[in-house]
Chain A
Amino acid sequence: MKTSFSIKSVLPVLYFITGMVILGGIWALVSKLTKNELPNPQTTWLVFKEVMHKPFQNDPDYKGIGTKLLSSLGRVGIGFGLGSLVAIPFGLLMGSSKIAMKIINPIVQILKPVSPLAWFPLGLAIFQDSPKASIFMIFICSVWPTLINTAFGAANVPQDHKNVSKAFGFSKSKYLTKILLPFSLPHIITGLKLSIGVAWMVIVAGEMLSGGQGLGYFVWEEGFNGGSTAKILVAIIIIGIVGSILDKCFTWLQTRFSYTA
């Protein structure tokens, strides 16, 4: 019997480990050079284990790291979800109609470059509630990439597909569900992937501003104000891993919904 264990399948793991070892090496070196101002990997590991003790503790006076992570993810999910619900239909509209494109595009071009953090005080003024302001901020910043990519996809439906629709007399709804949406889907997912990336970056900054909840608050309050640089590092690692998992999910969706003729 042939072994299913071959060099080829092990290689990616080896590359991954090599990368991690290099990162750890640089980290340890910097830590040594700064005379442990930046905690070394070993110290950070100890703090990590401590932080991970009862991660889902949810007492009024203390919330575990897992609870904080979930609350951050929850807000990202709501903001990103609402943003996508707005971005996808408008993107399809922009891509399908030149007039809609000409009307909506200038708005997008002006609002897109605005730093997501600038929307936070506006959200606070509107909702008088900092978690809602965070959601508002996530909502705004996750609209743009999805909107632009959806519009790009919808604007590039091949003439071949349009001809099929004409030749067999597809109704508007049939064109939408059988041609426009399936063709645009990979582009929509690309947009969603970029949007969730931005949203995940922004939530930490937002929570530093809003305070009280989430991973951003953990970084600021327990890490910086609490004088534990190791906790900041732990938070960075967790944020990074969760972010890359989110990215992987959308990459998977992308391959799942890509078709070749």
Chain B
Amino acid sequence: MSDTSLIGSTTEDMNAIAEKILEQAISSDKSIEIDSVTVSFKTDKGVYTAVKDISLSVNKGEIISLIGHSGCGKSTLMGTISGMVKPTSGEVTANGKKVSAPGPDRGIVFQNYSLLPWLTVYENIYVAVDSALNQKTKKEKVTLVETNLKMVNLWEHKDKLPGQLSGGMKQRVAIARAFAINPEILLLDEPFGALDALTKSAMHVELLKLWNISHREKTIVMVTHDIEEAIFLSDRVVVMNNGPQATIKEIVNVPLPRPRNKKDIVHDPVYMTIHDKLLSLLVDKFSIND
């Protein structure tokens, strides 16, 4: 028993051990730590501060949504997690490491799919896997591409070019690409914004399916402006103030049990309360004054 090893050790040792265990417990729980981050850009009209002094921590395996009006800096904040945007002050820690550049531990699904139009579906994923996981053997890479394409049911379309695919299929390729590099954190920037309502619903289910397959261990941060989408997918919804100098207005918990059913959930009183709350946070006036 490990307990026996504690016998005879001094209080000082005990304290050190306890601290270490506590630290490990905390750091293994925390997936993303945003610490008073401010992002400013230099423009022709002077300095523009997109987000100001934002702190937020996200637990491992949590799905959170950043919601707010267009231009409220939610994509900028997400950029600081991916490493695409450098904070002017403050810092972001992801998977226990300070973020300084994009890395394969954080998979990104872009707003407009961002597939390379001259590469086939297969090649688009392979090239990403080949770059991000360059220490793996060719055989392992091929297997990764194959499993992930099959997971999103696009294996039979693997030789098509992105131009030959529908919007929903393109987004599935983009998601498969992000999952293929097996990141601990998945960052989705308005991933379903360009899709029609039916395709969108199907994609939500698809995303949760993939999250379940990976044992709900992947942390997902999603930028959206769709309230229903945010509630259906997330554990917490982060509502942002309007920019410039955007801050977090409120963080709304979504205590709905999983798995969630799209049809039933909308009649759940908890869902309705959250929906109303988010709506009132995002829209100031419900009625139109004549």
Contacts and interface: CB of A to CB of B under 8 A. Distances in A.
Given A168-B104, A178-B119, A161 B131 contact: no
A68 B82 CA distance: 62
A163 B114 contact: yes
Contacts of B110: 160, 163-164, 167
B104 A178 contact: no
A166 B181 CA distance: 14
A164 B102 contact: no
B116 A168 contact: no
A182 B116 contact: yes
Q: How large is the interface on B (under 10, 10 to 19, 20 to 34, 35 or more residues)?
A: 20 to 34
Given A167-B102, A169-B102, A260-B163, A182 B132 contact: no
Interface in A152-172: 160-161, 163-164, 166-171
Nearest to B108: A167
A34 B231 CA distance: 86
Contacts of A179: 116
A170 B131 CA distance: 5
B132 A178 contact: no
A163 B178 CA distance: 13
A257 B118 CA distance: 8
A167 B82 contact: yes
Interface string B155-169: 000000111000000
Given A167-B84, A168-B132, A259-B163, A161 B116 contact: yes
Contacts of B100: none
A174 interface: yes
B94 to A, nearest CB: 14
B104 A169 contact: yes
A1 interface: no
Between B114, B117, B130, the greatest number of chain A beta carbons within 10 A of the residue's beta carbon is seen for B114
Nearest to B124: A164
B103 A166 contact: no
Interface string A39-68: 000000000000000000000000000000
Contact of A259 (B82, B103, B107, B117): B117
A174 B84 contact: no
A163 B118 CA distance: 16
Contacts of B132: 168-169
A168 B128 contact: yes
B127 interface: yes
Q: How large is the interface on A (under 10, 10 to 19, 20 to 34, 35 or more residues)?
A: 20 to 34
A259 B120 CA distance: 11
B131 A168 contact: yes
A261 B102 contact: no
Interface in A169-192: 169-171, 174, 178-179, 182-183, 185
A160 B181 contact: no
Given A178-B116, A178-B119, A260-B117, A168 B181 contact: yes
B246 interface: no
Given A166-B84, A168-B132, A169-B102, A261 B115 contact: yes
B236 to A, nearest CB: 25
Given A182-B116, A261-B115, A261-B162, A163 B84 contact: yes
Contact of B127 (A166, A178, A185): A178
B112 interface: yes
A171 to B, nearest CB: 7
Contacts of B118: 182-183, 185, 257, 259
23 contacts: A160-B112, A163-B84, A163-B110, A164-B114, A166-B101, A167-B84, A168-B181, A169-B102, A169-B103, A169-B131, A169-B132, A170-B127, A174-B130, A174-B131, A178-B116, A178-B127, A182-B116, A182-B118, A182-B119, A259-B161, A260-B163, A261-B113, A261-B115
Interface of B: 82, 84, 101-104, 107-108, 110, 112-119, 127-128, 130-132, 161-163, 177, 181
